[in-house]
Structure 1
Amino acid sequence: MQEFKRYMHQNLMLCIMLCMIFAFTSPCAVAKENSLIRFPRLDVKADPNEAYVLDLLQLILQNTPKRYEYSPTKSRMLQGRAIYEMTREHGDVDMILTMTTDEREKKLIPIRIPVDKGLIGWRVALISPKIKADFSTIRSIDDLRKFTAGQEQDWPDVAILKANKLPVTTSSSFEPLFGMLQAGRFDYFPRSIFEVYGELSNHQEYGVHLDQNIILHYPAAVYFFVTPRRPQLAEDFRIGFEKVLANGSFEKLFLKHNQASIGKTNIKQRTVIKLNNPHLNINSLPLQRSELWFQP
């Protein structure tokens, strides 16, 4: 009988200790998980906007009601895979920065403040030196239809170009596109003002040129998107973003990182070719807030 009592007492003490450990550690673990934002490490050699995005992210997170930390995923992934992870019940990604579409806005929670001020919809062309003379004769969308664009297969731009009856060749990932352009697999690589100069600098070995003749324009925006698993994160992030808009620090940061690219592009000296974007409801864009948009 004495042995039984001792056995029961030992087990009771063990249960109490386990409960105390769980009580003290579990909330901390949950709190840590809820304060961490996991970003996808995207499939690019060097992201030309990384410094801008990280500076902006830091600025916003300094102004959210709750303190958050961000962490890149261990492995690189394509945009499509990152979005899939955000829709899974136990996915590995909490937030992504990407171009908006109606479909993405249905699946995820958009923070409807354009990080790029709409520059993603202003596209200049990277070309091979071999077609420079031919490309300089383009004056209309009909002229452009004689040439083939190159894009990554899961980018929204593929559907936009095709909807405007512009031929497109795709690659399963980003980096091979420069080699494909150099080899003549397609004629031009439309890139936004927001991206192109950093990409040119990072891929000089391919000898591609920036066309000085045309610029494509279609309604578009780059948003932060949050997984539907974390609506409170989305609301906190929106509040933080609105604060940095109101105090002028967003505009200052945007100009610091993008003003030189805008100036070099000489938009007013180019032929503007307007495209429709049938995959984005223009009424979903915050167009009534003129301070959010770039005006050439």
Structure 2
Amino acid sequence: MIFKLRMMCLFACTLCISVSSTSAPAVAPLELRVAVVSDGRADYFIRLLEESLKLIHQPYHIEYVKDIPARRMWWMLGQGDINLFYGMQSKEKDNDKQLVPVRNALTNGLIGQRVLLIRRADAPAFAQVKSVDDLKRTRLIAGFGAGWGDTKLWKASGLPLYEHAAPWSTIYAMVAAGNRHVDYLPRGVIEVLDEARVHPELTVEPHLLLEYRADFAFYLSPSVAHYRPIIERALKEAEATGLKARLIDEAFGTDIKALTLDRRLRLRLPTPAD
């Protein structure tokens, strides 16, 4: 009997050692230094990142680096001072050896649907626009940040534009002034109403919706290039489970409905690759 009990104990110990030796090793957390702005514009993107990583049970630590000028953020990303940032996708960024693109369109194309912030006095001129050529004939000038990828589409369509090199926040007052060589701001449907609330001197044009192929993406520093397949898998799972659609709706759904996109005249701007 004693021998039998000893054999049973030995078997149990062997089983425990076997289970312990074959159990999955602990998953190393992603160590992320992420550039954000503190005005809330990054909230959806950070929530998407975090919730997607949680979905695949990927541990992570995030340190936020706030309110650094955008151009410096891209430089810091290439240097590894930060290791994740989000921005508009472009061939230039995707081919830059100092950046590692994460292959996922973060807003499902919504940032490529543009509504205009305008002066109230210009509303009648925009109301007469029925085509891209009509918009061109108004000679009204669109405003963009210097070096933004959107400028290529406006140039390809022959639409007048102004590139603002100074801090972006000053351009709203320039549009409102009416004498500073910029007349309207094409803004994504996920951002335009927030900006209109902050800048009541401007109004949202109610008639037009300009569309083109564009989206935001996450970009990594080369020092953490091995994070890319993990983050891509997490974002893909977020799409498959409906998490991403839910987060988009929670973040932007109310404003998008208020813009009544289905009642607007859609003007398609071809991308240079179209």
Superposition TM-score, scaled by structure 2 size: 0.80
Structure 1 residue 214 displacement after superposition: 1.0
The answer for unaligned runs of 5 or more in structure 1 is 1-31, 283-296
Answer whether contact 1:87 1:228 (CA < 8 A) is retained.
yes
2:64 is paired with a residue of what secondary structure?
A: strand
Structure 1 residue 246 displacement after superposition: 2.3
Distance 2:78 2:174 in 1: 32
Same amino acid, percent of matched pairs: 25
What code does the residue aligned with 2:46 have? L
- Does 1:175 find its partner at 2:169? yes
Distance 2:124 2:228 in 1: 48
- 1:148-199 per-position Cα deviation (integer Å, ceiling 9, x unaligned): 0011113211222122211111222220111111111211100010111111
Aligned positions, number: 241
- 1:32-76 per-position Cα deviation (integer Å, ceiling 9, x unaligned): 9x832112234xx724x3332232122023135642222222551
- 1:86-110 per-position Cα deviation (integer Å, ceiling 9, x unaligned): 223xx31211111111111112222
Structure 1 residue 275 displacement after superposition: 0.8
Q: Which residue of 2 aligns with 1:127?
A: 118
Distance 2:67 2:255 in 1: 30
Answer whether contact 1:217 1:275 (CA < 8 A) is retained.
yes
Structure 1 segments, 4+ long, off by >3 Å, are: 63-66
Q: Which residue of 2 aligns with 1:159?
A: 152
Distance 1:224 1:197 in 2: 24
Structure 1 residue 262 displacement after superposition: 2.2
What code does the residue aligned with 1:46 have? D
Distance 1:176 1:230 in 2: 35
Alignment of 1:61-100 (within 5 A): 61-64=53-56, 66-73=58-65, 75-78=67-70, 80-88=71-79, 91-100=80-89
The answer for unaligned runs of 5 or more in structure 2 is 1-27
Q: Which residue of 1 aligns with 2:25?
A: none
Superposition TM-score, scaled by structure 1 size: 0.75
- 1:249-292 per-position Cα deviation (integer Å, ceiling 9, x unaligned): 222111112222221222232221111222xx57xxxxxxxxxx
2:158 is paired with a residue of what secondary structure?
A: coil
Q: Which residue of 2 aligns with 1:54?
A: 46
Q: Which residue of 2 aligns with 1:28?
A: none
